[in-house]
Amino acid sequence: MPRILNVQVPDEKRVIIGLTYIKGIGLSRSKLICNELAISENEYMKNLTKGQLANIVAYIRKHYKTGQKIDSDRVANIRKLMKISSYKGLRHFKGLPVRGQRTKTNAKTSRRVNRKI
């Protein structure tokens, strides 16, 4: 199994499907990467050379955020909203729905989890 950006990608998958195992890369980005690097979409992961794998890793690192970077940016954005005391930040802090959903009849789970005892 090739290891791309700390993700084990199965050998028996085609390249466009195998790249989608990486967080932050979906099918459309996978197709763009294959077209840009002149790799056939019907090629299997086990048939890629080390040079091709290195090119894929370099291209992904240069053009896209993946893995932990996506998660850390998301957490940083939420913390920024909470720090500036925006409405969305307050909703995140209280553990209530952020995007305008009703809470009178729904969102019972989120309200129950954050209840003070």
- Give dist(CA 107, CA 1) in Å, integer: 42
> Which pLDDT does position 115 carry in this prediction?
62
For residue range 76-108, list pLDDT tens digits in order. Answer: 999 999 999 999 999 999 888 899 888 888 877
Token digits of residue 44: 């299997």
For residue range 42-65, list pLDDT tens digits in order. Answer: 999 999 999 999 999 999 999 999
Residue bearing tokens 């048939």: 47
3-state secondary structure (DSSP) of residue 95:
coil
Is 3-63 a CATH 1.10.8.50 domain? yes
CATH class as words, domain 81-113: few secondary structures
Of residues 100 and 1, more confidence is placed in 100
**Size (the chain), residues:** 117
What is the helix, strand, coil percentage profile of the chain, to 5?
A: 55, 5, 40
Instruction: Measure the N-to-C terminal CA separation of the chain; round to a whole number of Å.
Output: 49
Cα 100 to Cα 9, 84, 87, 117: the distances in Å are: 39, 19, 11, 26
Q: What is the pTM of this model?
A: 0.77
Domain locations in the chain? 3-63, 81-113
